[in-house]
Amino acid sequence: MPHSSFFTFDLEGEALPIHILRSKRKTLSLLVHPGAEVECRIPESCSIPVLESYLDGKRAWLSKAVEEMRRVAKPRARELVDGGSVRWLGHWRDVHVKAGRAQMVVLDQTDGFFLTVKDRNDLSKIDRLFDHWAKGQAERFFRFETGRLSQLFGSPSPRSVGVRKMIRRWGSCSSKGDILINAALMEQPIAAIEYVIWHELCHLTHWDHSSAFWAHLAAKMPDWQERKALLS
């Protein structure tokens, strides 16, 4: 599972936010997505000086790519049709739909989502199939991340971690220690997901949003404001 952080790069006098994804890889790569969302994938052991040197070497290309991708509008809503797109962990993935006996959803990290359904024209069933699959993925991912962050930051563990659709909140934490996460959070960048989960874990120590709560949150995640700004 890749680990993410948030890095601000000075590009022609502009503080450019870059999503940093660390994983078991040997090389660095730089991507600019529609809306000028910048992502840099680096080895787990990569140091900040090495990252900065790499970005400096890409400065001219990055400036041009950011300018071009700012003209490309981000899709406004998911399209669960063949040739459509779905936002997943902060990036828009292509959707491929084919007819078949088995009903399934497969995510390929390079080519996007592959949905197999009996009737390609039954959009409501396609929606239900994808939502059911996505909720299962969200439950596993959010529970894993909650456990990882709890251990990493020395936080108390919640009694439970659940997933459901929410209208106005990304997450909540009950007085009994039960954390609920909005299923739609799977659409957001990993850095933003980590912020929401850490925010709820902090409520296991500070139940309100007092100055002590925010100080506790910032002590382990000093870039929380940048991460929160990614939520959309």
Residue with tokens 């959803």: 105
Assess whether pLDDT exceeds 60 at residue 128.
yes
Read off the amino acid at residue 88. Answer: W
C-alpha closest to that of 28 among 39, 13, 17, 12 = 39
Question: Which tokens go with 156?
Answer: 């108390």
Assess whether pLDDT exceeds 90 at residue 110.
no
∠ Cα 139 124 101 (to 5°): 85
Question: 34 exposed, middle or buried (CB, 10 Å; 0-12, 13-18, 19+)?
Answer: middle
Residue 70 to residues 21, 33, 39, 63, 88, Cα–Cα distance (Å): 22, 9, 14, 11, 20
Q: What is the pLDDT of residue 22?
A: 87
Quote the DSSP letter at residue 198: H
What lies within 8 Å, CB to CB, of 3 at 6+ separation is 21, 22, 23, 44, 190
**Looking at the domain covering 135-229, what would its CATH class be?**
alpha beta
Contact 2, 19 (CB under 8 A): no
Q: What is the pLDDT of residue 77?
A: 78
Quote the DSSP letter at residue 221: -
Residue 76 — very low, low, confident or very high, per pLDDT cuts 50/70/90? low
Q: What is the pLDDT of residue 28?
A: 94
C-alpha closest to that of 160 among 140, 136, 179 = 179
Q: Where are the domains of the chain?
A: 3-69, 85-133, 135-229
Q: How far apart are CA 76 and CA 122, in angstroms?
A: 22
Percent of the chain with pLDDT over 70: 97
Q: How many beta carbons lie within 10 A of that of residue 162, not counting itself?
A: 14
pLDDT digits (tens, 9 = 90+) for 155-212: 999 999 999 999 889 999 999 999 999 999 999 999 999 999 999 999 999 999 999 9
Q: What is the pLDDT of residue 57?
A: 96
Q: How far apart are CA 3 and CA 84, in angstroms?
A: 28
Read off the amino acid at residue 15. Answer: A
Q: Are strands 112-117 and 91-99 parallel, antiparallel or unpaired?
A: parallel
Residue 72 — very low, low, confident or very high, per pLDDT cuts 50/70/90? confident
